[in-house]
Amino acid sequence: MAYAHRSPHSDVHVIETDAGYECLSCDLAQGGRTVVVPTIAEMIAHLETHRRAGHLVPDEAFTWLREDAS
């Protein structure tokens, strides 16, 4: 499932895979590498770090992650 796609309204691309939750070509990672975390809580924390850095993260990404966690 995709939680966010890069667009004029989003600086992140977040998906769920068999490996966990991935932030593809992450602007926070050295060299724009993909960040993989095993839990929804960790991805939410990661996206909060993006927002603190001034990156655009759609509210829906948080909503959908929290819905999937419950």
Any domain includes 41: yes
Element (H, E) at 35: strand 35-37
List average pLDDT for each run of 10 residues in the chain, which is 70 residues long: 95 96 95 95 98 97 95
What is the C-alpha to C-alpha distance for residues 43 and 13, in angstroms, rounded to an integer? 12
Any domain includes 70: no
Looking at residue 1, what is its pLDDT?
A: 85
Enclosing domain of residue 57: 2-63
User: Could you give the 3-state DSSP secondary structure of residue 39?
Assistant: coil
User: Could you give the 3-state DSSP secondary structure of residue 1?
Assistant: coil
Any domain includes 31: yes
Element (H, E) at 3: strand 2-4
Overall number of domains in the chain = 1
Which residues on neighbouring strands pair with residue 2, listed in sequence order? Answer: 15
Any domain includes 42: yes
